[in-house]
Amino acid sequence: MTKAELVQKIYAKLGSEGTKTQTEANLDAVISSLTEALAEGDSVTFTGFGSFKVAVRAARKGRNPRTGKEIQIPSAKVVKFTPGKNLKAKVN
C-alpha cells in the first residue's frame, strides 16, 4: 500500500469529514510526530496495534561479498516494531 492509497482509505472511512488534502496533512503530521519521537529515543505505542522503539545494533565484522575481504560494520540505531495482540490476531 502506498501513501496515496492509505490517504484514500482514511478519507473513505471518514466520509464527509474534511477533504483529501486535510486527510493527507493529518497523516503527514502523525508520521512527523512519530519520527520526531523515535529520533529523540522515545518509544511509541498504539494500544492493540503495536509499538515502535529504537534499538542499537552492535558493531560487527562482515565480509565484502565481491572480494571476500573482512570489514568492520559500525554500530547503528534501528527502529523495531513489535505487533500488538489485535494486529497479530487479524493477520493470523
Confidence at residue 51, expressed as pLDDT on a 0 to 100 scale: 97
Domain ranges of the chain: 1-42, 43-92
In this predicted structure, the answer to whether residue 88 has a pLDDT above a threshold of 80 is yes
In this predicted structure, the answer to whether residue 14 has a pLDDT above a threshold of 90 is no
Alpha carbon distance 4, 31 (integer Å): 14
Alpha carbon distance 69, 91 (integer Å): 42
Q: What is the pTM of this model?
A: 0.76
Confidence at residue 81, expressed as pLDDT on a 0 to 100 scale: 97
* Superfamily (CATH H level) for 43-92: IHF-like DNA-binding proteins (4.10.520.10)
pLDDT digit string, tens, across residues 23-55? 999 999 999 999 999 999 999 999 999 999 999
In this predicted structure, the answer to whether residue 66 has a pLDDT above a threshold of 90 is yes
pLDDT digit string, tens, across residues 70-85? 999 999 999 999 999 9
